Amino acid sequence: MSRSLLQVEALSVHFPVRGRGGAPATLRAVDEVGFTIAPGETLGVVGESGCGKSTLARALLRLVPVASGTIRFDGTDYSRTDERALRPLRRAMRMVFQDPLASLNPRFTVRQAVREPLDIFEPRRPTRERDRLADAMLDRVGLGAAYAERYPHELSGGQNQRVSIARALVAEPRLVICDEAVSALDVSIQAQILNLLADIQRDTGIALLFISHDLSVVRHLSRRLLVLYLGRTMECGDAATIFANPRHPYTRSLIDAVPVPDPAIERARRAPPLPGDLPSPLAPPSGCVFRTRCPRASSVCAITPPPLRGGPGALFACHHPLEEPTP
């Protein structure tokens, strides 16, 4: 069995902030999260806004400091290495952001934007060769030579996201992190981008970490799933197993919130939203962080954080999990 490409163990990201009255406080954005990604695999990361998904992505790229835990890429721990030692990682791990227009330099043409990673990582390669590689990647994402000399403001949102994907892939990374990469696009364009990513993954063998609040989008791509709530793991494992039989009440609520295409079925469904609001990460609930919104919570949930447990298909962190279906 080949080793994991990315291995994350007990990763925590904490930010010092000012609480009530200006007193020092700690925001626990990510709290002891662990997972692995194998070469060529897609891990979907889901949860409500404010659950730590984007912070997790930035921590993996070392764009925010790690409070504790370890991150290993291809067996090498880079959790606390200096910026110079991170340079190979910057090429091997790339990111596609939610807002493609904001992530592209408005002064660069499309060709220049796609070529920029090669300018950084391979400055000795002739410019003509870098241009050729950039143009070839633009063709790969469905944008021909006609777009190479345009600027981002001249393109649609879907076209700009294709440029962002080309930019992320041109330096031949081994892992691409997609942080809400299709949430700003309409449904038809979302499908095009998802199919593009699936095709590229099949052809190149890259691994994907796909972050979204929309489970229907994640289900389209992901082989494995990580469910976050207030920066903590609620459930993780095989995506098909979790979608078919979620054991954590929070996962069940996310699945129930996914719209059904049939209007008659959708009207008849009973999928009430979660009660209350997401608690502040500055003052998370004691014990299980989900207990204040959980219909199954009991006194033990307020005292003891539930450990991850379960079988080989999926793990869950719940004292009162949903029942497994009868065989």
- pLDDT tens digit string along 57-73? 999 999 999 999 999 99
**What are the CA-CA distances from residue 278 to residues 98, 99, 231, 290, 291 (Å)?**
22, 24, 12, 9, 11
Is the confidence at residue 278, as pLDDT, over 80?
yes
pLDDT for 1 equals 42
Q: Which residue has the higher pLDDT, 325 or 318?
A: 318
Tens digits of per-residue pLDDT, 238-247?
A: 999 999 999 9
pLDDT of residue 272: 63
d(CA 318, CA 244): 18
Element (H, E) at 17: strand 6-18
Q: What is the mean pLDDT of residues 32-57?
A: 94
Average pLDDT value over all residues in the chain: 90
Task: Inform me whether the pLDDT recorded for 115 exceeds 70.
Answer: yes
Which CATH number describes the domain made up of 6-98+174-316?
3.40.50.300
The whole-number pLDDT of residue 266 equals: 58
Tell me how far CA of residue 327 lies from CA of 3, 247, 249, 323, 324, in angstroms: 34, 16, 21, 12, 9
Greater confidence, 213 or 111?
111
Which has more pLDDT, 252 or 260? 252
Encode pLDDT of 81-106 as tens digits: 888 888 888 899 999 988 888 889 99
